[in-house]
Copies of this chain bind each other. A is one copy, B any other.
Amino acid sequence: MDQTTKPGTVNSDLTTKNPAVEPSPSIEGIVETAIYALDLDAMEEFYIRVLNLHRIAKEPGRHVFFEVGPSNVLLIFNPETTVHGHHLPAHGAIGPGHLAFGVAATSLPLWRERLTGLGIVIEKEITWPRGGHSIYFRDPGGHSVELITPGVWGTHAGW
């Protein structure tokens, strides 16, 4: 990265005066979501055995990746490895993050039963004013994992 430029600094003159920067090409969605954990084995076991995700890649000590639904990929990295970057841009966060998985409203009783049956503590449940319901629990990295049903956000796809 160019160290003479503050990361992400927007050149206001160009933004307002340069037609070359308008209109914006479109973004279709968030494909990769990343969370971090030092114990990748514990995370891998959790996301496979509890959430039944499909693992698509693994590099011991660096990462384990999962496909989530038709359009999303969950990337779990060891930040002590990725912070060094090597051949890719460096990244790596510390502390509890958050992510939410979309589930069918009809599946909530099954999810409660499954989580409880696997000894996972449900930290909180919320029914939202706009509609939709959330179930919160923790993964082995301490991240706040949420299951949400359609209606919470009012997205075009129904979430």
Question: Chain A: residues with CB nearer than 8 A to chain B?
Answer: 1-2, 5-11, 14-15, 18, 20-21, 24-34, 36, 42, 45-46, 49-53, 56, 67-75, 77, 79, 82-83, 88-104, 107, 110-111, 113-114, 117-121, 123-124, 126, 136-144, 146-148, 152-153, 155-157, 159
* One of B2, B7, B26, B93 near A95 (C-beta < 8 A): B93
In the complex, besides A1-B121, A25-B110, 18 extra interface pairs with C-beta distance below 8 angstroms are: A5-B121, A6-B140, A8-B46, A8-B139, A14-B118, A24-B52, A26-B52, A30-B101, A30-B102, A31-B100, A31-B101, A32-B148, A77-B98, A83-B95, A89-B144, A90-B144, A93-B95, A95-B95
Q: Contact between B139 and A28 (Cβ–Cβ < 8 Å)?
A: no
Enumerate chain B residues within 8 angstroms of A69, measured Cβ to Cβ: 27-30, 156
* One of B29, B119, B137, B157 near A14 (C-beta < 8 A): B119
Enumerate chain B residues within 8 angstroms of A79, measured Cβ to Cβ: 95
